[in-house]
Amino acid sequence: MVCGDALALGPGSLVSVLPDTHVGMAELRFHELGLDLRLVKAVADLGWEKPTLIQEKAIPLGMDGKDLLARARTGSGKTAAYAIPIIQGLLQDKMTLSEQAVRVLILVPTKELGHQVLQMVRQLTTYCARDIKIADISGQADISAQRPILMEKPDIVVGTPSRVLLHINQKTLCLRESLRALVIDEADLIFSFGFEEDLKNLLCQLPNIYQSYLMSATFNEEVKALKELVLHNPVILKLEESQLPDSSQLLQYHIRCEEEDKFLLLYTLLKLSLIRGKTIIFVNEVERSYRLKLFLEQFSIPSCVLNSELPVQSRCHIIAQFNQSCYDYIIASDEHVLGEKGKKRTGKKRKGKSEKGQDSEYGVSRGIDFHNVSTVINFDLPLSVDSYIHRAGRTARANNPGAALSFVASSELPMLQEIEEALGEGGSKGCVLRPYRFPTEDLEGFRYRCRDAMRSVTKQSIKEARLKEIKEELLNSQKLKTYFDDNPRDLVLLRHDKPLHPAIVKPHLKNVPEYLIPPSLRTVAQPLQKRKKKRMHPGSSKAPSAKKGKTQNPLRTFKYNKGTKRRPPAKKQKPE
């Protein structure tokens, strides 16, 4: 799964329905775009050498005051494509206008995306943070806690349509007089997350004239309808190629395996380090994410779970830590795929939490910027093509390489076919899922230990782990009190919580004896425990001594209990 070199997309891959003057625009650098120096400096700090394609086209148009409809795939740099001209415009406004007011509204479908947009704008305004205030109201904070923030009239407000509308209705936010720009980010998802009605109501509360940016991964019927509603004589920017990078940047594989084999294969890939680098493992249900986490725990493979049950602050924190390379594996449950297939939510009587306590504004495969993900694994194949694209789009972002590997059970074959047909239609050469050639028949030696681990992960242990996780995350959450105010039932649950008994981690499964490694994999395998031995102890400058490591290996020495008859240690002990 080691990927080839990153591919720099050529300027020809962007089709722009642009005025003639813009067609064939030379490749520009940020400092050549006429931006405020504070912006250029912030971009330089981010280490961005030059604009991405969408940025190169969108920034000058945005600065010209044009309405924009941009179809750009995830990871194309579209956040900065609208944020940079918006910040530039605000900095110019500030030179003449003294009154503080909310001038920009950025609508997002999920809280995670709201947080991400906030971070990006903060980074871009590093050198003008005094001039430009930004607030993200998409988070779960109590609405009354957000009132003082809005009273300060931040220049930019980021939020989900329902939360923004709530504030408008409560008169804590008024945009009728001051709004100069509206952004609808991930517009297609705004609909699939059920915000349609809130969005329409919200649009009635805006002034007649303002600049609009509509960013969307797909141009479906709903986005087209929205275009009529919010854009005036827009410039349309779209990437001609498939929504995913081609095979020189993103390698896409599939492998046939039934349920038990999925666990067996994942264990092998991770334990033998056959997949290296940061990896997101997608499953379709929260329950499965914990099953998988507990399964991996049995082998001392650490992973963290990301799902809609966790408080939003924890979710954002997990993503931030993953981006800082605190851990390698995230098991994400992409539950929205289920809703997509079924009935579309109307948006009426929306609540922050669904009946099962899951956050309906959660979306981890959508638009979230996980940094430097080398591999995406679809442990469960998603239930829609769009979902596949969003998941695979978590890797190979910007100009980085990546790989997506899908485990496909026979019941998932029709979906695989749908995905392949849809990606093939994109017309992009090489944008298909290749069979992942792997000697699965050689993994029988691992089967017994995998079955053993799978048996330990009972429904009860999953339930306990789930409860333990949410309890810990809630305690970790900075806004603990606010969360309990919003979710009093959780507090009751926690107060009557029983002691937890998560599945017992079996020390003997931590190591992979060499004789078990299939000969076909010996040259490439790097069993995890070997790498761990080399690690330094925290706070010490020395690696653990080899001697200590030796005595801990049960295959080389034996420890006898008191009273056990001593025998001379076997010179070359053959493993059982």
Give the chain's count of helices (H) and strands (E).
21, 15
Helix axes 459-476, 312-323, angle to 10 degrees: 90
- Which range in 76-84, 87-95, 149-157, 491-499 contacts ligand AMP by CB under 6 A? 76-84
d(CA 128, CA 39): 8
Q: Are 253 and 408 in contact (CB under 8 A)?
A: no
Say whether residue 400 binds ligand AMP (CB under 6 A): no
CA distance 356 to 354: 5
Q: Among the candidate windows 46-54, 375-383, 479-487, 515-523, which touches ligand AMP by CB under 6 A? A: 46-54
Asked whether position 80 contacts ligand AMP by CB under 6 A, the answer is yes
Q: Residue 76, interface with ligand AMP (CB under 6 A)?
A: yes
Identify whether the C-beta of residue 153 lies closer than 8 Å to the C-beta of residue 190: no
Size of the site for ligand AMP (CB under 6 A): 15
Tokens of 524: 């490439």
Is 398 a residue that touches ligand AMP (CB under 6 A)? yes
The nearer residue to ligand AMP, 55 or 365, going by C-beta atoms, is 55
- H/E segment holding residue 215: strand 211-216
Interacting residue with ligand AMP among 1, 40, 75, 241 (CB under 6 A): 75
**CA 204 to CA 208: how far, in whole Å?**
9
Minimum separation from the CB atom of position 214 to ligand AMP (A): 15
Q: In terms of CB distance, is 16 or 52 closer to ligand AMP?
A: 52
79 binds ligand AMP (CB under 6 A): yes
Q: Does 218 bind ligand AMP (CB under 6 A)?
A: no
Nearest to 113 by CA among 282, 286, 364, 390: 364
Considering only the stretches 51-59, 88-96, 218-226, 483-491, report the one whose residues sit in contact with ligand AMP under the rule CB under 6 A.
Answer: 51-59
Name every residue whose Cβ is closer than 8 Å to that of residue 396 and which is 6 or more positions away in sequence.
75, 244, 245, 249, 250, 402, 403
Q: Is residue 369 within the footprint of ligand AMP (CB under 6 A)?
A: yes
Tell me whether residue 121 or residue 450 sits nearer to ligand AMP (CB atom): 121
Nearest to ligand AMP of 5, 355 (CB atom): 5
Minimal distance in Å, beta carbon 487 to ligand AMP?
30
Q: How many CB atoms lie within 10 A of CB 446?
A: 21
Does residue number 409 form part of the binding site for ligand AMP (CB under 6 A)?
Answer: no
Exposed/middle/buried for 144, CB within 10 Å: 0-12, 13-18, 19+? exposed
Interaction of residue 397 with ligand AMP, rule CB under 6 A: yes
Please choose, out of 72-80, 254-262, 436-444, 447-455, the segment that lies near ligand AMP by the rule CB under 6 A: 72-80
Q: Which one, of 263, 528, 293, 294, lies nearest residue 379 by Cα?
A: 263
Question: Which residues neighbour 303 within 8 Å (Cβ) at sequence distance 6 or greater?
Answer: 281, 292, 293, 296, 297, 327, 328, 329, 330, 331
**Which span sits near ligand AMP by CB under 6 A: 14-22, 45-53, 328-336, 379-387?**
45-53
Which stretch, 4-12, 73-81, 219-227, 436-444, contacts ligand AMP (CB under 6 A)? 73-81
Contact criterion met (CB below 8 Å) for 216 and 71: yes
Answer for which of 3, 9, 42, 55 binds ligand AMP (CB under 6 A) is: 55
What minimum distance in Å lies between the beta carbon of 28 and ligand AMP?
A: 11
Binding site for ligand AMP (CB under 6 A): 48, 51-52, 55, 74-80, 369, 371, 397-398
